[in-house]
Structure 1
Amino acid sequence: AWLLMCLPHVALAAPWLRSEGVANTGNGTLAYREVHWQRDDTDGAERWVLYQCPDGRPFARKHLPAASRPQARGYTLEDARSGQTA
């Protein structure tokens, strides 16, 4: 259920660009996975990032709103593990 609430705009708007990345520990073990959604291919496009445990369970999400100056835009981050919001 949390996953469905993570990205409400993704379900309503299309098309979004999607990419995935992984982070490994020093010994090569999978630490976490990132799934990125971007509204279009411009630098300042709205973005969402979903962070997942190695088993696929989501643990955090980040939203970067659309911005005319993407290098100076803010973001919100919610981490379900700690309850931290930034």
Structure 2
Amino acid sequence: MKQKLILPTEVKVCATCSYWDGERKVNTELRVVVVSESCEGECMVQTKPSHALNDVRGETENCVWEHLAPGDPAADPQDDGSA
């Protein structure tokens, strides 16, 4: 069984960025993102594969981390409001 991680939306990792295209569930009411521990996705800014837990604070080149806007369905098309 894959472990799931619950991250506050403010944490600066790829999974909480609106430019990350990976499998996640966003609960806008609780302001958390749920991802699989081993989840991979793609950074749409850098057009390269990116692990969900990649700490973007260390990314100095081409990282345009953008907070997932709570309540904005355009921020994450996989947002179903449940975790």
TM-score tier after normalising by the smaller chain length: under 0.3
Larger relative contact order, structure 1 or 2 (CA cutoff 8 Å, min sep 6): 2
Q: In proportion to residue count, which structure has more helix?
A: 1
Indicate the structure (1 or 2) with the bigger Cα radius of gyration: 1
TM-score normalised over the length of structure 2: 0.25
TM-score normalised over the length of structure 1: 0.24
